[in-house]
């Protein structure tokens, strides 16, 4: 049956590559349809260096690889071919790794996350391990629950397993480093997690609106290092329009930028070079908050939102802002790659750019991932862990070859395989991910991700004009929380 599935997928992709079509500039094709002529699934071939090096001799003898899912959004194991570009790429990844390694990847247990008691999502795993049972092999969890499993010793140090090559580009090294403790990698993520790619923070710019006001080459601005908060203010200042002519600018009018007070604000902080922690020489994260730079970043964003005529700060849900962008009443929108799936029938064309830098002196652009990213680990009592490691490595490698290009192509309305600059922007975003230990691991502090001050600092202070005194007041409490987190990891490491 697996051979037939792979054969069907191959024929489907071949037929897709023969279909007529051109770049989409107005209405995009729906995500549930096949891509046009030069489908990225076939066009974007993976470089040899990005391919896994699991030996051909590895044979699992038909073994069932049992997956425990704890609030994880990535569950492709039960999917079937349905003609959707991304779905079918995911089916192909699982089918090919099962065929290659002679195994069957099975979703053994799927536990939904309870945001009020996130620790509950791991109870079945705890009970299983306490009973000395090896029911589960791969552990996949929502990032918010990751620290609980790691700090309680429920998962293995992945660095002790063969085949896993974390230098390969399908693993997100910066993210994994931020999730490590004393050199121990408890979790792996990257292309293997669709939510990792979908959760990357980006800037959407309405290309038609932009052309009405500016002639500056958008990609040239990014490539020259000039895509900064100052440039955002410059662009959005001219785009505001009082559409109903009532003399009052509100959400029924047109804005250069509207910014929601949650995830996008936090992402902008990281994009401007603010992080909470740094690893010391022993691989232990230390609280190292750049107070002065944070104040500078805070003040620049605060002034943008409160003193630029084209910018508006709101507590509206992100879905409302996304709909406004889609309708052509907002030129700049900070969100995640996943939002593009709702723009397939958008009337206007758009650019996808990295988040802006703080200023031109900042060396690199920085992107972030949403906390819904799925982390992959190996159960502490799993047997023949070398075989499980082989599955994870092939899984990640094939996801880079098939799933990520398919998702990027949908994001760019099937331009990823033909428009070099559009593709380069998304590759840049994926390559420059920054994560933070303090933000990654609220679970060990028994804090929900949305109530973790170490993670959500910018959204906490963005409405405060004078933030200096507030920071001095709050820093001791942050340090106490962080030390509690380190204590949990130190206990697990012994």
Q: Do both 76 and 48 map to the same domain?
A: yes
If asked whether residues 222 and 317 sit together in one domain, one would say yes
Same domain, 465 and 357: yes
**Which CATH number belongs to the domain containing residue 112 in this structure?**
3.40.190.10
Is residue 38 over pLDDT 70? no
Q: Tell whether 337 and 422 lie within a shared domain.
A: no
Nearest CA among 261, 252, 213, 183 for reference residue 457: 261
Residue 22 lies in a domain: no
Give the separation between CA 474 and CA 293, rounded to whole angstroms: 17
Burial class (CB in 10 A: 0-12, 13-18, 19+), 230: middle
336: domain range? 201-368+438-493
Is 108 within the bounds of a domain?
yes
From the list 191, 201, 173, 179, the residue with the least C-alpha distance to 367 is: 201
pLDDT of residue 239: 85
Q: What is the pLDDT of residue 400?
A: 95
Residue at 289 is within a domain: yes
Q: How distant, in Å, are the alpha carbons of 71, 90, 404 from that of 193?
A: 13, 10, 9
Sheet holding 201-206, edge to edge: 311-314, 255-260, 330-336, 201-206, 350-353
Q: Are residues 161 and 55 in the same domain?
A: yes
**Which of 431, 450, 473 is the last residue before a domain boundary?**
431
- Residue 146, domain member (yes or no): yes
Q: What is the pTM of this model?
A: 0.85
| 265 lies in some domain | yes
Assess if residue 23 is contained within a domain.
no
| CA distances to 150, 152, 306, 376 from 492, in Å | 7, 6, 46, 18
Same domain, yes or no: 124 and 271: no
pLDDT digits (tens, 9 = 90+) for 215-269: 999 999 999 999 999 999 999 888 888 888 888 887 788 888 988 777 888 899 9
The pLDDT value recorded for residue 416 is: 61
> Is the predicted pLDDT of residue 160 greater than 90, yes or no?
yes
Let me know whether 71 and 192 are in one domain: yes
Q: Are residues 116 and 39 in the same domain?
A: yes
Looking at residue 241, its pLDDT comes to 86
Q: What is the pLDDT of residue 16?
A: 37
Domain shared by 452 and 356, yes or no:
yes
Question: How many domains does one find in the chain?
Answer: 2
What is the residue-averaged pLDDT of the chain?
A: 83
- Do 46 and 86 lie in a common domain? yes
Residue, of 69 and 435, whose pLDDT is higher: 69
Nearest to 305 by CA among 318, 293, 315, 294: 315
Residue 3 reports pLDDT greater than 60: no
Domain assignment of residue 165, yes or no = yes
| Of the residues 387, 410, 431, the one at which a domain ends | 431
Q: Which tens digits make up the pLDDT trace of 268-300?
A: 999 999 988 899 999 999 989 899 999 999 999
Residue 475: the pLDDT is: 85
Determine which of 26-35, 49-58, 380-389, 418-427 has the lowest per-residue pLDDT on average: 26-35
Using the predicted structure, report yes or no on whether residue 485 has a pLDDT greater than 60: yes
Contacting residues for 17 by C-beta, under 8 A, at least 6 apart: 37, 38, 39, 42, 43
| 24: in domain | no
Contact at 8 Å (CB) between 332 and 257?
yes
On whether both 473 and 358 belong to a single domain, the answer is yes
**b/e map 173-195, b = 16+ CB within 10 Å:** ebbbbbbbbeebbbbbbbbbbbb
Q: Supply the pLDDT for residue 13.
A: 41
Do 340 and 278 share a structural domain? yes
Contacts of 250 (CB under 8 A, 6+ apart): none
């Amino acid at each position: 049956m697996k051979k037939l599935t792979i054969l069907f997928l191959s024929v489907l992709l071949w037929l897709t590559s023969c279909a007529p079509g051109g770049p989409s500039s107005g209405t995009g094709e729906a995500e549930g349809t096949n891509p046009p002529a030069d489908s990225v699934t076939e066009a974007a071939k993976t470089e040899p260096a990005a391919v896994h090096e699991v030996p051909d001799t590895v044979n699992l003898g038909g073994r069932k690889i049992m997956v425990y899912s704890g609030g994880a959004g990535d569950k492709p194991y039960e999917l079937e071919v349905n003609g959707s570009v991304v779905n079918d790429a995911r089916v192909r990844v699982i089918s090919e790794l099962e065929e290659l390694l002679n195994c069957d990847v099975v979703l053994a247990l799927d536990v939904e996350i309870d945001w009020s008691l996130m620790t509950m999502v791991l109870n079945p795993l705890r009970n299983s391990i306490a009973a000395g049972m090896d029911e589960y092999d791969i552990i996949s969890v929502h990032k918010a629950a990751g620290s609980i499993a790691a700090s309680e010793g429920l998962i293995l140090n992945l660095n002790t397993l063969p085949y896993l090559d974390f230098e390969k580009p399908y693993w997100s090294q910066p993210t994994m480093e931020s999730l490590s403790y004393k050199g121990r990698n408890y979790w792996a993520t990257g292309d293997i997690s669709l939510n990792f790619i979908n959760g990357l923070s980006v800037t959407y710019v309405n290309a038609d609106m932009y052309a009405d006001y500016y002639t500056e080459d958008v990609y040239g601005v990014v490539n020259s290092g000039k895509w900064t908060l100052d440039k955002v203010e410059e662009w959005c200042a001219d785009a505001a329009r009082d559409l109903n002519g009532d003399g009052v600018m509100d959400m029924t009018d047109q804005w250069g930028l509207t910014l929601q007070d949650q995830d996008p604000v936090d992402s902008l902080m990281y994009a401007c070079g603010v992080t909470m922690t740094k690893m010391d020489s022993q691989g232990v994260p230390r609280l190292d908050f750049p107070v002065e730079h944070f104040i500078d970043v805070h003040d620049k964003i605060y002034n943008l939102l409160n003193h630029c005529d084209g910018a508006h700060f709101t507590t509206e849900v992100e879905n409302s802002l996304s709909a406004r962008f889609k309708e052509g009443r907002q030129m700049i929108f900070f969100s995640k790659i996943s939002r593009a799936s709702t723009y397939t029938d958008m009337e206007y064309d758009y650019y996808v750019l990295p988040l802006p830098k703080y200023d031109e002196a900042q060396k690199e652009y920085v992107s972030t991932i949403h906390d819904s990213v799925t982390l992959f680990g190996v159960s502490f009592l799993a047997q023949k862990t070398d075989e499980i490691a082989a599955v994870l490595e092939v899984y990640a490698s094939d996801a880079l070859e098939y799933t990520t290009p398919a998702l990027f192509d949908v994001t760019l309305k099937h331009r990823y395989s033909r428009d070099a600059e559009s593709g380069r922007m998304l590759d840049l975003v994926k390559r420059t991910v920054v994560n933070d230990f303090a933000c990654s691991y609220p679970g060990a502090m028994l804090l929900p991700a949305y109530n973790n001050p170490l993670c959500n600092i910018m959204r906490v202070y963005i409405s405060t004009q004078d933030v200096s005194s507030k920071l001095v007041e709050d820093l001791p409490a942050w340090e106490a929380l962080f030390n509690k987190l380190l204590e949990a990891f130190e206990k697990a490491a012994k």
